[in-house]
A and B are shown apart, each in its own frame.
Chain A
Amino acid sequence: MHADTRHFRQAAGKALIDGQLQKALGNVKRGFIAKRAKARDALPEFDRLRDEARDIKIHTLAHLDLYLSRFEDKVKAAGGQVHWAETEAEAREAVLEICRAAGAKTVTKGKSMITEEIGLNAFLEQSELKVVETDLGEYLVQIRGETPSHIIAPAVHLNKEQIEHDFRERHKDLPPERQLSDPVQLVAEARQVLRQAFISADVGITGANFLIAETGQTVIVTNEGNGDLTQTLPKVHIVMASIEKAVPTLEDASTLIRVLARSATGQEISTYTTFSAGPRREGDPDGPQEFHVVLLDNGRSSVLGGPFQDMLRCIRCGACLNHCPIYQHVGGHAYGSVYPGPMGSVLTPLLQGVQEAAHLPYACTLCGRCEAVCPERIALPDMLRRWRARDFAAKPPLAGAKPALKLWAALAACPRAYQLVTGAAIRLLALLGGRKGRIGRLPLMGAWTKHRDLPAPQGQSFLAQWKAGRRK
């Protein structure tokens, strides 16, 4: 990973006053959230399926070594090859070696967050390979020299005017009189350009949503069909997948497929779901002649058995991004990490180290919406809180924080003193609030009151009201 997560505060500030970005982000609320809610309401079994999806992943992670071994055996039996990569660098080298052995000059790619994680495109380009992203959103961010701002909708930060501008700049043979103001025309233009790339590519690289141990199949889901053209036309197909993508059986995959698209885009299922086992067989008129799976660990095996293990259940649907009030306001790039939003703020410190990603767990109000919509029921807010606690413990203590917390602890342990002090504080704050009932500035809390007023307490504390018999 190469993105910089240390400047979240500044980047978020910029994002909030970026009119183009704010306009584009408005689509997230209108689109993804309403569509997911509709899909959930249309399937009475949805919440039960979420429980089962969680249990499948828990079971698989507990026996991940055995399921990966079985997956490997089955891929080999189907004529494919499996490459194990402990680190980003090993994964990049494995891909490059396959490309070199095939004498490849051009590579097409289906959408894959793992290849973003390992910085594959830049690496292959340094090695004189031409790399073309074929998912429309990925293609857009590639020609702009950007990174995806969303794990399933890479170009969600762009408006159609920006895309028209980029196409006119980049597609040199486009006649100036050609109309490109309508998204339909933009899609047609991209289709034409990328069709050429599909046909001339030597190697196709895709990710994988699932690896099925029972059969050795790799699974991708797309709506465009770009992943299928990527893997069907070139002579070599490389699947990049991280180890936690394994699932035991096709029945288990079916349960996960039922929750994946509904959580992601609100579809019953993505338009195309493709199960691939090995290279072209005897008599096949099409399909790749070589089939490779590169399995990436990159720290994941060490996350197992620890407090962040549940993060490995994530199926990358993006629902937590869509529903996050922070993501909705600042977009994906402000996070500075490959994986943005709640799942990214938990995962990035695991992959990159908490020092590098220390800001991310604070990019959160702990509102809990992400956990409420997660198809795997991952307790994201708990894990974000855990990262904060670690960060706090690792930092030099704030001057005065320790005695203040000690005083608070002593008060909390002595109800009578606690009520006396809080009662006094309530009266003081009410006085400060005056007739408006709001406090505009508070000593020692300038950062907080800079952006909002503190509502002054109204009346007595809960305990005092309880005693007086006004609360039951």
Chain B
Amino acid sequence: MSGRENILARIRAHAAAGEDEPARAARVEAHLGAHARGTVPARGQQDKAGRIALLRQILEGQSASVRELDALGAVPAEIADYLRRHNLAPRLGMGDDAALAGLDWGGANLELRHGRANAELESACSMAFAAVAESGTLVLTSGPDNPTSLNFMPDNHIIVLRADQVMGSYEDGWDALRAAFADGPPRTVNYVSGPSRTGDIEQTILLGAHGPRRLHVIIVK
């Protein structure tokens, strides 16, 4: 027998000795299919305004900055302003996301660099798939639209999301993901809940361990 068969046989013998195999299989299928939720914290079950307020509050508590805008068209100017405020070059990495591609970046005097991140890229912008208010989390999905390396390589990461993408709980986020990706989840789903940090030196929290030192979140109404 192979290692695989040995391991599975031992598990069966020890964990489920004498149990009816078809009944077990049925129980497992039922569990996998039900997507039953456990307790969802009350804070994750609020109306839209409450969700956005909570998302913002937790993100800011985690040293991210948050800006709310009325229209997507205002995003390039806000990003140009953000880069200026932090004395950063007006250059921005991004993928092929259609919502971002349709904006007037040239009008804000921003130079774009498309595709995956490289070592020189200082600032990048991604469109979030969703956000989860209960923990102040942005949900990003991999692919040509928003390459994963943009989330981790640059020093400054700017994430844009629409207000109606702010979910209350992780579970609401998974339901939205299942609806959007019928054939199974994308290669990578990233939960991002602030700029990179470490507590490995004397338990002092310091930002920018390996990933972005700054995280700026733009919520568009």
Contact = CB atoms under 8 A, between A and B. Distances in A.
Interface of A: 24, 27-28, 30-32, 43-45, 48-49, 52, 56, 59, 61-70, 74, 77-78, 84-86, 90, 134-137, 140, 153-156, 158-160, 163, 183-184, 186-188, 190-191, 194-195, 198-199, 213-217, 223-226, 228-229, 232-233, 243, 248-252, 254-255, 257-258, 265, 268-281, 283-287, 295, 297, 301-306, 309
Contact of A65 (B15, B17, B188): B15
A280 B193 contact: no
A160 B197 CA distance: 17
Contacts of B16: 62-63, 65
B22 to A, nearest CB: 12
A36 B4 CA distance: 39
A183 B210 CA distance: 15
Contacts of B14: 301-306
A65 B12 contact: yes
B25 A48 contact: no
Given A84-B3, A287-B142, A302-B10, A272 B191 contact: yes
29 contacts: A52-B38, A52-B39, A63-B16, A63-B27, A63-B28, A68-B7, A70-B28, A84-B4, A153-B203, A183-B202, A194-B210, A213-B32, A216-B184, A224-B196, A224-B211, A225-B152, A225-B212, A229-B210, A232-B149, A249-B32, A258-B170, A272-B191, A275-B189, A281-B186, A284-B143, A284-B147, A285-B116, A285-B147, A304-B10
Given A65-B12, A69-B8, A86-B3, A249 B147 contact: no
Contacts of A30: 203
B134 to A, nearest CB: 8
Given A215-B184, A243-B7, A269 B24 contact: no
Contacts of A78: 184, 187
A187 B198 contact: yes
Contacts of B85: none
Contacts, number: 271
A228 B11 contact: no
A268 B136 contact: yes
A310 to B, nearest CB: 13
Contacts of B187: 78, 276-281, 284, 287
